[in-house]
Amino acid sequence: MAPSKTTYMFNYHYQSLKLTTKIAVFLLFFSMTCSNIQAQIGKPQTKPGNKAVNQKSKPAINNSKGSLPASNSRVSNNGNKINSGNIKSEGNKVSNVGNKTNNIGSGNKKTNIGSGNNSNNTNIKTGNKVNIDNSKNNNININVNNSTHINNGYPRKSYRPYTRPPYRYGGMNFYCHFGYSYHPYRPFYWGPVWHPWGFFITAMAATAIIISIENQQYHYDQGVYYVASNGGYTVVQAPVGATITTLPPNTQTVVVNETVNNYYYGGTYYEKSDKGYTVVPPTAGTIVEQLPEGAKEEKIGDQIFMKLGEVYYQPIKKDGKDMYEVVNVEKDDSK
């Protein structure tokens, strides 16, 4: 039997109402979804477990030509702390593990980032510059500074009177027992263990001994005196008063007077004492055959003298040999 018109209309309205309900539910869900998305977009995002970055405390990173020359390097500043990380610069790696209190320097402050026993030091200074010293401890630098010496004063006066008039120039008198005879200066070397004043070494020999003179420590080894300097030891003039028990090899005996001899080695004069051999200033009139490296020619008027430390030497001729005489220099009071 065919459905009646009333039944047909009922089914039609029922289906329409059902479709309208579905559309309304869909639109409501869509509206709520859009509201949530909009709320999420407008809300600032913070990763869980991380503190917010304090923009005011973050130091400025200088990307100019003097800044960190690092590649793939990272410096984090959360609450003024530098986190663990690696700074790579031209293949050199410096790790900072666990150092949370090191601040990137500003003004005149400097921060050292160390990495265990690594001998390379990295200094982070103003402008985030990184300076890396790639030198190794086994490098030996040899530098000679001939101006390095200890002022031991002027020579002691001669034991015998001068029969020759002094050479006068510039208000000074230069007394010598022998006449002036110029000859070229040729530095003399006392063997492989001897070094001139100013010579620098990085390690001291095990045979060296320590000598203290007037609260200054010297390292003595085979006729050479050293003082500690930056990164090593520098050869200096022997301090007056230093006493050794044995003279170095190739020491020369020089005559001071009829009863006194000195012992000459590398520009240093020794005199026999109760405890051994003591460093003394040279005595005017003493004659030596050689002068060490470090002596300088000094033209005084028409004559050329040699000067070693504070001591003047006049070139002379004795027994047909080129030698040097210690000069007695005094102020000219005749005018």
Are 113 and 172 in the same domain?
A: no
Q: What torsion, rounded to 10 degrees, do the Cα atoms 19, 24, 25, 31 define?
A: 150
Q: Pick from 137, 157, 182: which residue ends a domain?
A: 137
Are 325 and 181 in the same domain?
A: yes
Are 119 and 207 in the same domain?
A: no
Q: Answer whether 169's CB lies under 8 Å from 301's CB.
A: yes
Q: Tell me how far apart the alpha carbons of residues 294 and 298 are, in angstroms, rounded to a whole number.
A: 13
* 24 belongs to a structural domain: no
Are 224 and 108 in the same domain?
A: no
Are 104 and 196 in the same domain?
A: no
Question: What band does 97 get if pLDDT is binned at 50, 70 and 90?
Answer: very low
* 173 belongs to a structural domain: yes
Q: How many domains does the chain have?
A: 2
User: Using one digit for the tens of pLDDT, what is the confidence trace for 212-228?
Assistant: 999 999 999 999 999 99
Bridge partners, 221 (sequence order): 224
Question: Would the pLDDT of 246 be above 60?
Answer: yes
Q: Which residue has the higher pLDDT, 92 or 167?
A: 167
Question: At 5, phi and psi to the nearest 5?
Answer: -65, -35
* 146 belongs to a structural domain: no
Are 179 and 319 in the same domain?
A: yes
Are 183 and 123 in the same domain?
A: no
What average pLDDT does the structure give for the chain?
A: 74
Are 309 and 175 in the same domain?
A: yes
Are 200 and 323 in the same domain?
A: yes
* 210 belongs to a structural domain: yes
pLDDT over 70 percentage in the chain: 62
* 4 belongs to a structural domain: no
Are 207 and 296 in the same domain?
A: yes
Sign of torsion over alpha carbons 201, 204, 209, 214: positive
Q: Pick from 86, 120, 137: which residue ends a domain?
A: 137
Please give the distance of CA 261 from its chain centroid, rounded to a whole number: 43
Question: Would the pLDDT of 161 be above 90?
Answer: yes
pTM: 0.56
Are 221 and 304 in the same domain?
A: yes
Q: Tell me how far apart the alpha carbons of residues 153 and 82 are, in angstroms, rounded to a whole number.
A: 57
Q: Which residue has the higher pLDDT, 258 or 196?
A: 196
* 326 belongs to a structural domain: yes
Are 279 and 214 in the same domain?
A: yes
Question: Would the pLDDT of 41 be above 90?
Answer: no
* 16 belongs to a structural domain: no
* 178 belongs to a structural domain: yes
Question: Would the pLDDT of 108 be above 90?
Answer: no
Residue 77: domain span: 67-137
